[in-house]
Amino acid sequence: MFHLQAGLTGTAMTTVTESNTAQTMRSGSLPVFATPSMCALMEEAACAAVANCLEEGTGTVGISLSITHSAPTALGKQVEAEAQLTSVEGRKLTFAVIAKDDKGTIGKGIHERFIIDNAKFMAKLNK
């Protein structure tokens, strides 16, 4: 069925700009990397970890994300997220996620995704 196994990793990178700050995203009032932006980057890394292992016509959707955001990142700095697949339980995938900037870890946590049939998922949505 699926060719997924624990240990797969994926990464995603971004630069902190006005568009992904807490101030712009309304998740805070300061011009620093926003927690919602970090969450999205972690999800992007998880998607990248399994993208080449999914059957044609399938995808994944996020079902939970439990993270800490422990340090700020300034405008102009790069942030990299890494996701490691730690568990495959049927169609449920669990990842350890971490985000870092040039000073070290800025956030980490656990992210779960569910494998879906893209067409069925969209058909259900459009009912």
| Active-site amino acid positions | 35, 43, 69
3-state SS, one letter per residue, for 74-85: ECCCEEEEEEEE
- Residue 38: how many other CB atoms lie within 10 Å: 23
Q: From CA 51, how far away is CA 119, in angstroms rounded?
A: 17
Assigned token pair, 74: 């300034």
Q: From CA 35, how far away is CA 79, in angstroms rounded?
A: 12
